Structure 1
């Protein structure tokens, strides 16, 4: 059984003390494919080091995270563009809009989001969307940019059934992680109405650990708890869900 974690920050400082052991636990659990989203330029070298150390299993994205869109965002976008021209990445992400912490840079976040979507299209890459308290603002940009070149993953999907269908209409898979295991996560109540062909698995580690680890550091091996939950929701063997969601990830990332 091969499991794919489509969204995990393995380069995070949270793993500096035990990264190799954490990676081994994930590999032992059947997680063989790790897709790594970018945050900003300060993490690029750590991501490259991770790829170098786990070249058979780690696949990098490049992008500017919306919470890191600040006054210098154009410099950061130039960094993204430079690296996309320089080496192989598997997606532009994570990109999008986040209004949970701060609404100061909404206009700049949307500009950066649209710009990076266009970069992804130029390189024929998927996008990986971060959306927090910003579904309308994200959909506004997607509506402007929709065409045959737009596709990707709506990471950490936590919206309604209606919003799920809207995301899918823009050629997005839904990234399902620890939230599906939360008692108040809500998406578990309607997920069975969404065909598995639209679903990929993720952890977003070190964030959003699934039950029973909620509140602790998340890691990629915990994706088995998400798999267990989806097995229950879809009344389907874990092995089959792992196979379908891994195929879905291959469709998106091309590897």
Structure 2
């Protein structure tokens, strides 16, 4: 059973004390593929080191996270583009719009999101979208950029059934993580109405740990809890969830 974690920040400082152990624990449970989203240029070296330490398992993305968009975002976007030229990346991400913390840089977030989508299209790469309190704004940009190779993952999907269908209409898979295990998560109430071919699994570690680890550091190993919940929601075996979602990830990332 090959399990794919399509979104995990294993280079995060949260793993500085036990990174190797945490990764090996996940591998022992069948997690063989780890897709690593970027935040900003300050993490580039640690991401490259992670790839070097675990060859054939870590698949990197390049991108500027919306919460790290500020006055110097143009400089950061140049770094994203430069890295895409110098190194093999499997997606542009994570990118998008986040209005949870503040709305000060909404204009800049939209510009950065749009430019990175266009960059992904030029490079024939998928995008990985971060959306928090910003479905309308994200969909507005996707509507402008739809078609012409637009594809990717709507990471950490927490919206409604209607929003799920809209995301899928833009050629996005839904990234499902720990929220599906929460009592108040709600998405488990309608997910079965979405065909499994539109779903990939993720942890977003070290964030959003699933039940029963909620409130603690998340790890890629905890994707097992997400997988088991999804098997319950869809009424299929753990192996079926692993197989289909891993195949879906291959369709998105091309590997």
TM-score interval, normalised by the smaller of the two chains: over 0.9
Alignment-derived partner of residue 222 in structure 2: 222
TM-score when normalising by structure 2? 1.00
Please list every run of at least 4 consecutive aligned residues from structure 1 whose deviation after the TM superposition is greater than 4 angstroms.
Answer: none
Alignment-derived partner of residue 197 in structure 1: 197
For the pair 1:21 / 2:52, whether they are aligned, the reply is: no
Alignment-derived partner of residue 42 in structure 2: 42
Alignment of 1:68-147 (within 5 A): 68-147=68-147
Contact 2:121 2:148 survives alignment (8 Å): no
| Structure 1 residue ranges without an equivalent (≥5) | none
In 2, distance between residues paired with 1:130 and 1:225? 22
How many equivalent residue pairs?
A: 255
1:150-175 C-alpha deviation (Å, 9 max, x unpaired): 00000000000000000000000000
In 1, distance between residues paired with 2:202 and 2:13? 19
How much has 1:86 moved relative to structure 2?
Answer: 1.1
How much has 1:190 moved relative to structure 2?
Answer: 0.2
In 2, distance between residues paired with 1:49 and 1:74? 25
In 2, distance between residues paired with 1:80 and 1:227? 32
How much has 1:148 moved relative to structure 2?
Answer: 3.2
How much has 1:131 moved relative to structure 2?
Answer: 0.1
1:30-84 C-alpha deviation (Å, 9 max, x unpaired): 0000000000000000000000001110000000000000010000000001111
Alignment-derived partner of residue 236 in structure 1: 236
| Structure 2 residue ranges without an equivalent (≥5) | none
1:108-136 C-alpha deviation (Å, 9 max, x unpaired): 00000000000000000000000000000
Classify the secondary structure of the residue corresponding to 2:93. Answer: strand
In 1, distance between residues paired with 2:148 and 2:111? 21
1:14-34 C-alpha deviation (Å, 9 max, x unpaired): 000000100110001100000
In 1, distance between residues paired with 2:47 and 2:176? 23
In 2, distance between residues paired with 1:178 and 1:147? 30
How much has 1:87 moved relative to structure 2?
Answer: 1.2
